[in-house]
Structure 1
Amino acid sequence: MTKILTLSVCSFILVLLAGCDSTKKFLGMENKQPDAFEVMNRAPLELPPDFDLRPPEPGKKRPQEMTKRQQAEQQLIKPTQQTPQPQVSDKALGKTRRSHYKSTSGEQAFLSQAGVGKSSTNLKNKMRQQEMTDSEDSFLKQLAREKKDPVINPYTEPTPKS
């Protein structure tokens, strides 16, 4: 009898301790989330200009990664000279800022067949004009034209008989 009582009391105590936060921490059962300030962002992978993949060298630091200080300086100190934005036609034809990327003749033919770069310059004005001349009436015009029922005068109406 005492064995059963001792076993039940011990199991009850273990169940209570399993729900306790400090016990979970002590036993290592707590989920630890990473600290947002401790996690380092890795620079994205980039293709080399000639598209030939060089084998990685073990232990060598990534060339595109910067130290925390360099990242902070880059965020705080913006470059003084602005890089020129590519024109729409150049961008549409596959010419980008990357000097190593050249669009193929197939890409250029596809873009020219799709009509890229041939859009009208006053497209917004045409759309506004079309919107103004739509045949659909506005909601207010529909309300004004709507036939209204006559207002009932309660004094002239016959009273219902019950």
Structure 2
Amino acid sequence: MVDRKDVGSWLEGPRARTNPGEWRGQRLGMPQSGPGAIASFGPRLVGVAIDWAIATFIAAGLFHVPLPFSAVTPKGSDTFVVLGVFAVMHLLLVGTLGSTIGHRVVGLQVRSVGGGPVRPLQALGRTVLLCLFVPAVIWDVDGRGLHDRIPNTVIVRTR
């Protein structure tokens, strides 16, 4: 359960540390670097961009949503179609394989805190919160967004 102490860590910012020798994920039993360490922002952003691009092409093929670089101006509802495709991709892939296509390309995986695979309800909660966007940009000192904190998941490096 999230309590006042947990919210305080977000208010301190993602780089705040109580001890100079601490690293992101140490409180969760994660290694400092290498496979199993908490993923940094750069690869996570690249992974989401890859997944969004794939969702855009799928939406264009299945639902005739115009591509961003086409001559046709997309309607506002087209973005929600792409978001829906992104959500279904994320839910199915994270819920079954533990990673999306973008995650695999950049060497990331979503796991339950403690190292186990993501359970279906965790994947559902994470997907809903990720699609709301705001929880994904509120991070704690361990580098976990609210979309990871609430379902008790963490995104780690695989290589």
TM-score w.r.t. length of structure 1: 0.18
Query: Counting strand residues as a fraction of each chain, which structure ranks higher?
Result: 2
- Greater Rg by CA: 1
Per chain length, whose mean CA-contact separation is higher, i.e. which structure has more relative contact order (CA < 8 Å, sep 6+)?
Answer: 2
Query: Counting helix residues as a fraction of each chain, which structure ranks higher?
Result: 2
TM-score w.r.t. length of structure 2: 0.19
